[in-house]
Amino acid sequence: MGEIDLKDRKILFELDLDCRQSDSEIARKVRLSRDSVRYRIRRLQEEGYINYFMIILNSMKLGFQWYRTFFKFQNLSLEKEQEIIGWLKGRASWITKVEGRWDLNTGIFCRNVYEYRDIIGEFLGRYSAHVARYDVAIVTREWTYHKDYLLGKKQKTSTPILMGYSPGEEYTTEQLDKTDYRLLEALLKDGRAKTVDLARRLGTTEMVVRYRMKKLVERGIIIGFVPFLDVRRLGYRYFKLHVTLQNATSERKRALLERIHAHPATVHMTELVGGADLECEFQVKGNEEFYGHVEELRKQFGDMIRDYEFLEYVKEYKFTYLPEMY
């Protein structure tokens, strides 16, 4: 883990569970003084382990679909690559450079397929000479997992955060007014901001901020407060595994999902329409650990894994769960 010690890792884990915990709450759990916790958090930020604090939103409950799009490029100079990334930044919510079969992984929130059609059509109209191929899938559910691996755990003990709808849940769309939206914008990269500071930025009272934030959580719009960590700075590598299934009975698929849920290195898992049946993301110390996990899955579920492939994330250009609404 380089320059950080066990107490730092415990603080990071507590922040990952809920970064709006107070310094005093975290201090009681990690058995340090409040001032020591405050100092360590500040140092973790200054030294680049924590990039910022963010919120996780259930954007699907705001009436948006999430289109996951991979691109493989050709005839691409570094200048043209930066131009393409710059264009996508104005439209995509997630842009990541990857190594493997694809070059770029993107996520685009749209209200319907026609809106996505217009975006991808405009993109190809500009850059089709540089696109060797692309792949589109619609995310139906995504689990975000807490980073139990920070504490060397052998199995998950925390509960994942679900974006999307659980089976049987009514597909209702939540409405946001401009004040709610501005509050979410303020929390996007400042998830630990004090309510008094948020009130000042929004031109309202602290009581209003507290009430609205509470209601956004109760309505299932805000589903998590987490730090955005530099996993490479922490000594980890970030892999994405695509799994295509066959003869998957509901019982066997449930067992596979539970196995992925329980692994301490799992950070995201996505169910989709189109593309692979599952896209799973792991943060591990190196290739060997990742390959070992893949082999375990193949040993246990080889009868239902028809095919798989993997990518490595190397650079993230943009990440937000808040679609443009106003």
pLDDT at 167: 82
pLDDT at 40: 97
- Evaluate whether 6-47 and 60-139 have a shared fold: no
Cα(214)–Cα(202) distance, integer angstroms: 16
Domain ranges of the chain: 6-47, 60-139, 141-167+235-317, 175-219
**Tens-digit pLDDT string for the chain (326 aa):** 448 999 999 999 999 999 999 999 999 999 999 999 999 999 999 999 999 999 999 999 999 999 999 999 999 999 999 999 999 999 999 999 999 999 999 999 999 999 999 999 999 999 999 999 999 999 999 999 999 999 999 889 889 999 999 888 888 899 999 999 999 999 999 999 999 999 999 999 999 999 999 999 999 999 999 999 999 999 999 999 999 999 989 999 999 999 999 999 999 999 999 889 999 999 999 999 999 999 999 999 999 999 999 999 999 999 999 998 88
pLDDT at 275: 84
pLDDT at 1: 43
pTM of the full structure: 0.92
pLDDT at 166: 84
Topology of the domain comprising 60-139 = Alpha-Beta Plaits (3.30.70)
Sequential DSSP letters for 274-324: SS-SEEEEEEESSHHHHHHHHHHHHHHHTTTEEEEEEEEEEEEEEE-S---
Looking at domain 141-167+235-317, its CATH architecture is 2-Layer Sandwich (3.30)
Domain 6-47 has CATH 1.10.10: yes
- 3-state DSSP call for residue 211? helix
Domain 175-219 has CATH 1.10.10.10: yes
At 82, list the tokens. 């930066």
Sign of CA dihedral 265, 51, 82, 94: positive
pLDDT at 169: 85
